[in-house]
Amino acid sequence: MAERILFCNCAYARVVPPEVKAEVLRKLCESGAAFDAVPDLCDLAARKDPSLKRLSESKCTKIAACYPRAVRWLFHSAGATLPKEGVEILNMREKSAGEVLDRLVSPEKS
Amino acid sequence: MNKTEGLNLRVVVYEGRGSTPLAAEDRYRIISSLLENGFEVTRPPGGNGGEVSRADVAPVLVLGKFDGRIPQSEGVRFHDLSGRPHEEAIQTAREVRDQVGARNLGDWKPWFPVIDYERCTNCMQCLTFCLFDVYGVDADSKLQVQNQSNCKTDCPACSRVCPEVAILFPKYKNGPINGDVVRQEDVRREAMKVDISALLGGDLYASLRSRTQEARKRFSTERDESRALLERKRCLKELQKNLDIPDEVLMSLPTVEDIHERAERAKAKLAARQARSQTAKDSRPDPTQEEWGI
């Protein structure tokens, strides 16, 4: 099953530790994985970007962003409710870069 | 352009057929700089599979180290990275953004409330409390965030008055307002703190009116303007501290008269709606969202 990865750079707020964000992005770039990266998921949700709808329809999605509750309701606010199954939200505010990457680019562990 | 309207420029970092793959460090530097400059970035699938967003109406710029001829495709811009510093790619992206009229993300910090509908009870305390028309209701009278860009940056006050801890600000520093798990003690604390009606003596607007009348009375009897102003300042400071309201928000509050007028308008509409819904013979449709005006 084709997997989708979304990376949020969470601009305009230093709530995600910069070193975690940078390390996750660096390793993502080093991996062979295809991914979409957005400057700010909140911004996408505010303008109901159609890409969120398509992402929510994907069967297997990993999102590196912030708290899962925040991400889920952000998607909902954009009219793109995420399915309960098949979506993994990785919280860069709380987890280390290693923990996030372990899930993000190691599909065999899922 | 409204802060939440328009499309971002999407930049595709292409390394497939007809191009030479980038060194990992170069790839990271380019993608990182693009994100910092407000561009959406896509790295399409290579040998390892995966899937990315399909092309849509968003303007697209493709970057790559193209072997020989630079590709041509209608509606898509290309920039050859071969032998050029990555700063040049960022500059090209900025130029394309301006040419196609895409958004400049730096214009707005996306700060607005997000409702957790698993917790929200539609009590409307947030709608009543917010003085900037951020909230409204849909056709089914369900609470909605309707005007995100009206929200005052860094002000989480409405989430502090929500008795169900149902309002999130993903960029807020602390939980559970930032989306962290809601614990029982959070609910208890919010419930104690925030019955805004009780906090302000029954009704926010009545309280504001009464406060104004009290102030006028005091002016007329004591003629002590400075004392009243000090009292007002003290009350505002307390409210500001309790609800974490930034200074700028207090500076831009609507006047008491504006609030009064808005409250009367909302009450009249509510009364009219209730009267209509109670009349079985009345077959007129419900008022639209615009008629509500809240």
Each residue's pLDDT tens digit, B199-240: 544 455 565 556 556 655 654 554 455 665 666 666 677 777
The confidence score (pLDDT) of residue A49 equals 87
Q: Which of B40, B148, B186 should be substituted to probe chain A, the one whose Cβ sees the most A Cβ atoms within 10 Å?
A: B40
Determine the residue of chain A that is closest to B4 in CA distance. Answer: A47
In a domain, B157, yes or no: yes
Which residues of chain B from 9 to 48 reach within 8 Å of chain A, CB to CB?
A: 24, 27-28, 31-32, 35-48
Residue B189 has pLDDT above 80, yes or no: no
In a domain, B131, yes or no: yes
pLDDT classification of A7: cutoffs 50, 70, 90: very high
Average the pLDDT over each of B41-45, B111-115, B263-267 and give the range with the smallest value.
Answer: B263-267
Write the CB contacts of A54 (distance below 8 Å, at least 6 apart in sequence).
B53, B54
The confidence score (pLDDT) of residue A104 equals 93
- The whole-number average pLDDT for the span A11-21 is 90
CA distances from A69 to A52, A65, A97, B23, B168 (A): 16, 11, 20, 36, 9
Does the CB of A64 have a partner CB in chain B at under 8 Å?
no
Average pLDDT of chain B, as a whole number = 79
Q: Say if residue B163 is in the same domain as residue B260.
A: yes
Which position has the higher pLDDT, B293 or A64?
A: A64
Q: How far apart are the first and last CA of chain B?
A: 23
Q: Say if residue B187 is in the same domain as residue B240.
A: yes
Domain boundary among B46, B76, B107: B107
Which position has the higher pLDDT, B282 or B138?
A: B138
> How far, in Å, CA of B42 to CA of B64, rounded?
12
Is B105 within 8 Å of A40 when comparing Cβ atoms? yes
User: Helices B204-222 and B225-243: crossing angle, nearest 10°?
Assistant: 160
**A109's tokens:** 């562990």
Domain hosting B29: range is 10-107
Residue B293 has pLDDT above 50, yes or no: no
Q: How far apart are the first and last CA of chain A?
A: 13
Q: What is the DSSP letter of A93?
A: T
Is A70 within 8 Å of B178 when comparing Cβ atoms? yes
Helix or strand or coil: residue B8?
A: coil
Please give the ipTM for the structure prediction. 0.93
| % chain B with pLDDT above 70 | 70
The confidence score (pLDDT) of residue B261 equals 74
Residue A57 has pLDDT above 70, yes or no: yes
Which position has the higher pLDDT, B69 or A4?
A: A4
- The whole-number average pLDDT for the span A94-104 is 96
Which position has the higher pLDDT, A60 or B207?
A: A60
Q: Say if residue B128 is in the same domain as residue B45.
A: no
Shortest distance between the Cα of B218 and any Cα of chain A, in A, equals: 45
Domain boundary among B85, B107, B129: B107
Q: Say if residue B151 is in the same domain as residue B270.
A: yes
Which position has the higher pLDDT, B205 or B15?
A: B15
Q: What's the half-sphere exposure (Cβ side, CA atoms, 13 Å) at B117?
A: 11
Q: Give the domain CATH number at A31.
A: 3.40.50
Query: Which residues of chain A are within 8 Å of residue B24 when distances are taken between CB atoms?
Result: 29-30
In a domain, B166, yes or no: yes
Q: Say if residue B263 is in the same domain as residue B179.
A: yes
Does the CB of A53 have a partner CB in chain B at under 8 Å?
no
Query: Which residues of chain A are within 8 Å of residue B111 when distances are taken between CB atoms?
Result: 42
Q: Nearest by CB to B116, which of A33, A50, A73? A: A73
Q: Say how many CB pairs under 8 Å bridge A and B.
A: 153
| Number of domains, chain B | 2
At B136, phi and psi to the nearest 5?
-160, -175
Q: What is the DSSP letter of A86?
A: S
In a domain, B289, yes or no: no
Q: Which of B5, B14, B27, B114 should be substituted to probe chain A, the one whose Cβ sees the most A Cβ atoms within 10 Å?
A: B114
The confidence score (pLDDT) of residue B119 equals 96
Q: Say if residue B157 is in the same domain as residue B265.
A: yes
Q: Which of B119, B34, B20, B198 is nearest to A70 (CA)?
A: B119
Q: Nearest by CB to B41, which of A2, A10, A37? A: A37
Domain hosting A31: range is 4-109
Q: Say if residue B40 is in the same domain as residue B155.
A: no
In a domain, B211, yes or no: yes
Burial B66-80 (b: 16+ CB within 10 A, else e): beeeeeeeeeebbbb
At A82, phi and psi to the nearest 5?
-75, 145
**B68's tokens:** 């020989």
At B267, phi and psi to the nearest 5?
-65, -40
CA distances from B285 to A56, A80, B277 (A): 34, 29, 10
CA distances from A52 to A30, B54, B56 (A): 25, 12, 12
Is A69 within 8 Å of B105 when comparing Cβ atoms? no
Q: Say if residue B191 is in the same domain as residue B242.
A: yes
**Contact (Cβ atoms closer than 8 angstroms) between residue B134 and residue B148:** yes
- Quick: pLDDT tens for B59-91: 899 999 998 888 888 888 999 999 888 899 999
Which residues of chain B from 132 to 161 reach within 8 Å of chain A, CB to CB?
A: 145, 148-149
The confidence score (pLDDT) of residue A60 equals 85
Contacts 24+ apart (CB under 8 A), A52-55: A52/A78, A52/A80, A53/A78, A53/A79, A53/A80, A54/B53, A54/B54, A55/A4, A55/A6, A55/A80, A55/B53
The confidence score (pLDDT) of residue A63 equals 97
Write the CB contacts of B137 (distance below 8 Å, at least 6 apart in sequence).
B127, B143, B144, B289, B292, B294
CA-based Rg of chain A, rounded to a whole angstrom? 13
The confidence score (pLDDT) of residue B287 equals 44
Helix or strand or coil: residue B221?
A: helix
Is A25 within 8 Å of B32 when comparing Cβ atoms? yes
Give the number of residues written for chain B.
Answer: 294
In a domain, B285, yes or no: no
Q: Say if residue B129 is in the same domain as residue B251.
A: yes
Q: Model-level pTM?
A: 0.79
Query: Which residues of chain A are within 8 Å of residue B165 when distances are taken between CB atoms?
Result: none
Is B24 within 8 Å of A67 when comparing Cβ atoms? no
The confidence score (pLDDT) of residue B231 equals 62
- The whole-number average pLDDT for the span B248-254 is 72
CA-based Rg of chain B, rounded to a whole angstrom? 26
Determine the residue of chain B that is closest to A47 in CA distance. Answer: B4
Average the pLDDT over each of A61-65, A101-105, B195-199 and give the range with the smallest value.
Answer: B195-199
| Number of domains, chain A | 1
Q: What's the half-sphere exposure (Cβ side, CA atoms, 13 Å) at B36?
A: 14
Query: Which residues of chain A are within 8 Å of residue B47 when distances are taken between CB atoms?
Result: 32
Helices (H), chain A: 18-30, 41-46, 50-56, 68-77, 97-104
**B154's tokens:** 């860094």
Does the CB of B180 have a partner CB in chain A at under 8 Å?
yes
In a domain, B283, yes or no: no
- Quick: pLDDT tens for B170-187: 999 999 999 999 988 888
Residue B106 has pLDDT above 90, yes or no: no
- Quick: pLDDT tens for A37-56: 999 999 999 988 888 888 88
Residue A8 has pLDDT above 60, yes or no: yes
- Quick: pLDDT tens for B107-159: 778 999 999 999 999 999 899 888 888 999 988 889 999 999 999 999 999 99
Give the number of residues written for chain A.
Answer: 110
Residue B294 has pLDDT above 50, yes or no: no
